[in-house]
């Protein structure tokens, strides 16, 4: 998934409760699904950031030599400016981009 082009808001906004609970007919289940998706997004972004910052890592035991790397700072700032994973998850939920299933319902059928 391309999180860099997310249309999620950068600040907190109010959502219509009925739109959030519409797919599951249960607000708590909807929030639980969005929370799990936000955790997935957070892990993906964290892994991606760590991989990019590893390129700049210097593996020496000396704490005296600390270099400022402008490219490293730019990468860090880029990830800081992205919308929060929870906002991305809510946006995906409202657009119907999250696949979910309830195992209890599938077993009952």
> Counting runs of H as helices and runs of E as strands, what totals does the chain give?
5, 0
Residue 92 has pLDDT above 80, yes or no: yes
Please answer whether residues 94 and 21 qualify as being in contact, where contact means their C-beta atoms are separated by less than 8 angstroms: no
Q: Residue 75 and residue 31: Cα distance in Å, rounded?
A: 31
* pLDDT tens per residue across span 57-91: 766 655 555 566 788 888 888 888 999 999 999 99
Whole-prediction pTM: 0.80
* pLDDT tens per residue across span 5-28: 788 888 889 999 999 999 999 999
pLDDT, residue 14, reads 92
* CA angle centred on 84, ends 80 and 89, rounded to 5°: 150
For residue 34, give the nearest of 83, 99, 79 by alpha carbon: 99
How is residue 53 written in tokens? 């910052």
């Amino acid at each position: 998934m391309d999180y860099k082009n997310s249309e999620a808001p950068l600040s907190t906004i109010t959502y219509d409760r009925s739109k959030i609970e519409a797919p599951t007919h249960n607000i708590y289940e909807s929030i639980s699904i969005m929370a799990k998706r936000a955790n997935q997004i957070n892990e993906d972004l964290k892994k991606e950031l760590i991989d990019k910052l590893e390129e700049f890592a210097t593996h020496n035991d000396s704490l005296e030599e600390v270099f400022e790397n402008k490219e490293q700072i730019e990468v860090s700032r880029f990830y800081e400016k992205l919308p929060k994973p929870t906002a991305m998850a809510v946006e995906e939920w409202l657009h119907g981009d999250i696949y979910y299933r309830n195992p209890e319902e599938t077993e009952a059928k």
